[in-house]
Amino acid sequence: MSFELRGRARRLGDDINTDYIIASTRKRDTLDTAVLQRYLLETVDPAFATSVRAGDIIVAGRNFGCGSAMEIAATVILAAGINVVVAQSFARTFYRNAINNGLIPVVCDTGAIKEGDAIAVRLIGGASNVHVEALELTFVGAPLPAIMLEILNAGGLAPYMRANAGFLDSVSGPP
C-alpha cells in the first residue's frame, strides 16, 4: 500500500480514551456511525463534530484510544471522514481496531504539529512519514508490522478474512 494523504491537522492531547472518542452512553442508543459521528469527541470538545471536515487528520499525543476496547471508536472516526490518526503512541486495542477497519494509525513525533496545520501523511509499504508544510519538516513514522500491512492492504480484517478464508499461515517480518 502506498499513498499520500493531505489534510488539516485536528489537534488532540494525551490519553484520549475511547469513551471520549464516543461515549458508551451514545453507543448504547445506536450503532449507526452516521448518527454517532455527531457526538465524536463531544466530552473533549463539544464543537469538534460540527467543525470536522472529510479529509481532516487527527493528530494526538500519547496513548490515543486508551480505555475500553470498543471498536466503534475507530469506525466513528472513519464515518466522520477521517482516514488517518497520527499519534505519539496508541493504546493496543485501539491500534488493532483501527487497522482492522482500514483506519490508518501512524506513530510519530507529533509535538510540533498544531491545530489546523496542513500536513501530508505518506505511507510507502510499511514505512510512513508525516510532512508538516508550515514547518517544512518531515517526521518519520514507526514501521507497520507485516500482518497489519496485509490487513490494511485488504481494506480491513473483514475483507482480509473473506479473501483468504481465514488467516494466512505465513506471518512475516519483525513487528
Q: Which residues bind another protein (CB under 8 A)?
A: 14-15, 17, 19-20, 23-25, 27-31, 43, 62-63, 66-72, 74, 89, 91-93, 96-97, 100-101, 145-147, 156-159, 161-162, 166-167, 169, 171, 173-175
- Beta strand 104-107 pairing with 127-132: unpaired
DSSP state for residue 144 in the 8-state scheme:
P
Helix (H, G, I), strand (E, B) or coil at 57: strand
* Residue 136 C-beta: closest distance to another protein, Å: 30
Least distance from another protein to the Cβ atom of residue 4, Å: 27
Q: Answer for the pair 11, 45: CB distance below 8 angstroms, yes or no.
A: no
Minimum distance from residue 164 beta carbon to another protein (Å): 10
Angstrom distance (rounded) from CA 83 to CA 54? 9
Query: Please, which residue, 32 or 136, has the CB nearer to another protein?
Result: 32
- Smaller CB separation from another protein, 114 or 162: 162
- Minimum CB–partner distance for residue 36 and another protein (Å): 12
| Smallest separation (angstroms) from another protein to the CB of 141 | 17
Residue nearer to another protein on the CB measure, 15 or 120: 15
Q: Which of 89, 110 has the CB closer to another protein?
A: 89
Is the Cβ of residue 63 or residue 129 nearer to another protein in the bound state? 63
How many angstroms separate the CA atoms of 33 and 27, rounded? 9
Q: Per-residue DSSP letters for 75-139? A: HHHHHTT--EEEES-B-HHHHHHHHHTTPEEEE---TT--TT-EEEEEEETTEEEEEETTTTEEE
Q: Can you tell me the distance from the alpha carbon of 40 to that of 31, in angstroms, rounded to the nearest whole number?
A: 13
